[in-house]
A and B are shown apart, each in its own frame.
Chain A
Amino acid sequence: MISTLIDKQDSFEIVRDQIGAILTTEIASQMSLATAAGKDPQDYKLRVYTERSNPWENFQDNPDDRSPLVNVWYDNSNFSPTKSNISERQASESIYNVDCYGYGLSRDDGASGHIPGDRDAAFEVQKALRLVRNILMSAEYTYLGLRGLVWQRWPQSVTVFQPQLDARQMQQIVGARLSLRVAFNEFSPQVEPVEIELISIDVIRKEDGQVVVEADYDYTAP
């Protein structure tokens, strides 16, 4: 039996939370930098979530906040036996999906034309992809801030999904996915050692170079 409580987060959970934390803090920082640069901070705003699966209802009633949504979720892991050992450590390559949702709103351009919502939604989601990839692949996060645990992160693929053809809802929504591959170790509980016999050993190097080992045994004669 395993004698200890498995009271820890696995590495894949730590990495998932770290990706969400990095995106949240860096987006806040980007908004501050945009303000300092005289740009509109709303253009840099993303709303970051982890592991959400209920329908998004943020865009239902013509909201004032049209900033893209980002959902970080753990997809799968592959374990490499050749990079692992059989007792303690399993080398893992895991996929995290960073899903982005862009909302577009058709609106008057104040001149003789209009801003089309379908294009607006595509541009919004691509902006979100741009920010997410740049943040996660920046030199500051070579190891996702988890050096010693993570040894590689890589954007495996980016996919922008086409809007459905069979329904034309009044909201223009485009989804996109950055699949981020992260390599790290998972660790498992180990056997707790049991003391069998206490042995005390002194190792002495004598003047002539001879090494002498002297052992004391707690021994009771029968």
Chain B
Amino acid sequence: MSLRQIAELDLGLILEDSVTGFGYSIVLTDPSGKVRPFTGFSDDISQIIDPDTGEAVSGRLASVAIRTSSLYAAGLSLPVGVSDAGSKPWIVEFDDINGTACKFKVSQSNPDRALGLITLLLELYK
């Protein structure tokens, strides 16, 4: 087994360990409506938005990181941001640490195809 394949296995151990690691429950829905549960990393932190007026708007930055091999194994493709208003977007749902449910749309995907990791940047979805 090559070092790269070992790194991908290690990625699985790091990302998907929800018992002793930082792995967290994430639910992904693709545009066709397929719903699949995953374990990965999720972030939801505050971040200032600069609208260029000289005055900031308080915002939040949310993202999830998922192992791509787990996506393929669940029968999904790599999520992408959907711009077409006539289509459903990829939906990501996870709870914050206090159990409050949050629902997001994938606005941008950053896949690392070398290591097998995809990071999804999210925006609020209702």
Contacts and interface: CB of A to CB of B under 8 A. Distances in A.
Given A106-B124, A169-B47, A170-B122, A175 B88 contact: no
B97 to A, nearest CB: 15
Contact of B52 (A59, A60, A115, A162): A162
B87 interface: yes
Nearest to B106: A106
B57 to A, nearest CB: 5
A52 B57 CA distance: 12
Interface in A16-52: 52
B57 A170 contact: no
A98 B59 CA distance: 22
A106 B61 CA distance: 15
A56 B57 CA distance: 5
B89 A173 contact: no
Given A112-B86, A113-B85, A171-B57, A62 B124 contact: yes
B58 to A, nearest CB: 4
A117 B87 CA distance: 14
B85 A170 contact: no
B104 interface: yes
B60 interface: yes
Contact of A171 (B85, B89, B123): B123
A106 B49 contact: no
B53 A171 contact: no
Contacts of B85: 109, 113-116, 119
A66 B59 CA distance: 14
A170 B52 contact: no
Nearest to B103: A62
Interface string B55-92: 11111111000000000000000000011111111000
A133 B110 CA distance: 41
B54 to A, nearest CB: 8
A57 interface: yes
A178 B45 CA distance: 32
Nearest to A177: B53
25 contacts: A53-B55, A56-B56, A59-B59, A71-B53, A97-B53, A99-B53, A99-B55, A101-B51, A106-B105, A106-B124, A106-B125, A113-B86, A114-B85, A114-B105, A117-B124, A168-B107, A169-B61, A170-B60, A170-B61, A170-B62, A172-B123, A173-B49, A173-B51, A173-B59, A174-B51
Given A164-B52, A171-B49, 20 more contacts: A53-B55, A56-B55, A56-B56, A56-B58, A101-B57, A105-B124, A108-B126, A112-B86, A113-B87, A116-B83, A116-B85, A117-B107, A161-B53, A167-B47, A168-B61, A169-B61, A170-B59, A170-B123, A171-B57, A177-B53
